[in-house]
Structure 1
Amino acid sequence: MSISTTRGSQKARDTLEFLRGKISSNEWRVGELIPKEPELMQLIGVGKSTVREAVRSLAAFGMLETVPGVGTFVRARTPVSSILTEFLADHDLEEVLVYRRSLENEAAQHAAVHRTEEQLAGLRAAHERSLAAGGQAFDTCERSTAPGSFHLLVVEASGSKLLKDLYLGVMSILERASVEGRVILGTTTETMHRDHGAVLEAIAARDVRNAAHSMALHVDRDLGLRTDMLEFNPQTERATSLIDAGFDTDA
């Protein structure tokens, strides 16, 4: 999706692309304040009206939000994430969780094919950090989208920018639901470490089948609806079907 405006001056278009580049590259992270208007004018070399036009354009796509008296915050890394977040907000949380499972399974499969040695090293480092952190290692919704987190690294190793944008959009909904207490972590530290290890080794071996199965088992017991919102068994139907199919969960 292109958000470059066809109206206005070349300076306005260049300013918009400059701001978008800072956001999409994660130099300006989601939730952070961007530089104040005078700083942007000096940094880019344009006037106040040009900066304001670019900020308004990005705000219209949900990437920025201006809070009077405070400043302008980054709200989404891409317009795709923002639009998807608004779309998914109208859907049942259980359906959003199912969609998240599908995205993560696809990411694991593609990562097994497309990952680089550098990306594999990053995944190993993230897993080792998690092991060293012990009981503090839970990948909450917020942590799952933080730079260097295991789940985000798997998605990035898939090589698909679109998949990453979709993942960030879905996780923003689940993060909000987690803060509200509607989505909870349904796994133990030991199980999470084992699941991540299985996903990691499958990706390392370029084993597409086991990468998908390992991730499917993990996400089935990772995040779930609060128990008083939905009756569900400790082991989901999908996890049971994979186990019955002969997958070794201790691998």
Structure 2
Amino acid sequence: MPLATTRRTGLVDQVIAQLKDAIAEGEWPIGQRIPTEAELAESLGVGRNTVREAVRALAHGGLLEVRQGDGTYVRATSEVSGAIRRLCGTELREVLGVRRALEVEAARLAAEVRTDEELATIAELLDQRDTAYRTEELETYIRADTEFHLAVVRAAHNDLLTELYRGILEAVIASVAATTDTRLPETEAIGHRGLLEALEAGDSARAMAEAAGFLDELIQEA
């Protein structure tokens, strides 16, 4: 999607907003190098200094990474994601610890307020996940497992909790991949049937225990 020409007021803020939109909408995926300052300045009809300030602000927010002599790359899709990625870095144990904090609380709330439709979605995703594991379809398994956990978080009906979890979604995907590729196909998939049963029964204590249990195991192994 081409960037729109900016107005002559608040240029830096306008450029920041348009670059953020391009990132959020997938114009430049995570890990991809964005156009040069000169190319962006020409596209937007602004000076290179304006573009430089906007890029610097987004790099400070964690969305972009400036690599001297190489270019500027997309690092995250939102400020929340960028901030948490900076806090977590690449340490698997830290990512799993953040996941534990969010997913255990989400499981507790979901057991109390989930709808039948949400429960059906969670069950369907779990079936897809387990089937993909048995058939050794790693990418499908990672996607289904991530969507399963996100569906549980959504079923908690807490918008802020969901936004925080979506903010670390890239890190969640990476953690699922990191804790799966060494397991396939020798071992069974980490079981989540107990969590599903707890949600179905409305048992918040068991839901919390199930959500914490497998993450504690992964943290010990990391």
Q: Tell me the TM-score range normalised by the shorter chain.
A: 0.5 to 0.7
Aligned to 2:150: 152
Q: Please say if 1:83 is aligned against 2:83.
A: yes
Please show how residues 27-46 of structure 1 align to structure 2 within 5 Å: 28-34=28-34, 38=39, 42=43, 45-46=44-45
| Aligned match of 2:205 | 209
Structure 1 residues 95 and 122, CA gap change in structure 2 (3 angstroms):
same
Alignment correspondent of 1:163:
164
Query: Deviation of residue 76 (structure 1)?
Result: 1.9
Change (3 A) 1:175 1:132: closer
Task: Mark the CA change 1:153 to 1:102 in structure 2 (over 3 Å): closer, same or farther.
Answer: same
Report if aligned partners of 1:130, 1:137 keep a CA contact under 8 Å in 2.
no
Output the amino acid matched with 1:199: L
Partner of 1:74: 74
Of structures 1 and 2, the one with the larger relative CO (CA 8 A, separation 6+) is 2
Following superposition, the deviation at residue 109 of structure 1 comes to 2.0
Secondary structure of the corresponding residue to residue 77 of structure 2 = coil
SS at match of 2:15: helix
CA, structure 1 residues 105+58, in 2 after alignment: closer, same or farther (shift >3 Å)? Answer: same
Q: Aligned partners of 2:35, 2:124: CA distance in 1, in Å?
A: 32
Q: Which runs of 5+ in 1 are unaligned?
A: 1-7, 227-251
Instruction: Look up the equivalent residue of 2:147 and give its one-letter code.
Output: S
- As a proportion of its length, which structure holds more helix? 2
Matching residue of 2:215 = 219
SS in 2 for 1:217: helix
**Whole-angstrom distance in 2 between the partners of 1:205 and 1:59:** 46
The answer to whether 1:104 aligns with 2:103 is yes
The 1:75–1:157 alpha-carbon spacing in structure 2 relative to 1, beyond 3 Å, is: farther
Structure 1 106/137 Cα, relative in aligned 2: closer, same or farther at 3 Å?
farther
How far apart are the structure 2 equivalents of 1:124 and 1:35? Answer: 43
Structure 1: distance between partners of 2:213 and 2:30: 29
Q: Secondary structure at the match of 1:15?
A: helix
Matched, 1:196 2:184: no
Going from structure 1 to structure 2, the CA distance change for 1:89 and 1:32 (only over 3 Å counts) comes to: closer
Shifted more, 204-213 versus 23-32: the winner is 23-32
Residues in 1 aligned to 2:124 and 2:41: alpha-carbon distance in whole angstroms: 36
- TM-score normalised according to structure 1 size: 0.58
Give the counterpart letter for 2:107 in structure 1.
Answer: A
| Conserved? CA contact 1:85–1:173, under 8 Å | no
Is the 8 Å Cα contact of residues 111 and 154 (structure 1) preserved in structure 2?
Answer: yes
One-letter code aligned to 1:60: H
Question: TM-score, with normalisation over the residues of structure 2?
Answer: 0.64
TM-aligned CA distance change 1:166 to 1:222, over 3 Å: same
Secondary structure, in 3 states, of the residue corresponding to 2:192? helix
**Alpha-carbon shift at residue 20 of structure 1 (Å):** 2.2
For residues 153 and 192 of structure 2, the distance between their equivalents in structure 1, rounded to whole angstroms, comes to 13
CA contact (8 A) 1:88 1:173 kept: no
Distance 1:13 1:149, change over 3 A: same
Consecutive unaligned residues of structure 2, counting only runs of 5 or more, are 1-7
What SS is found at the alignment partner of 1:65?
Answer: strand
CA contact (8 A) 2:62 2:75 kept: yes
Paired AA for residue 104 in structure 1: E
Identity of aligned residues (%): 33
1:108-127 correspondence to structure 2 within 5 Å: 108-113=107-112, 115=114, 119-127=118-126
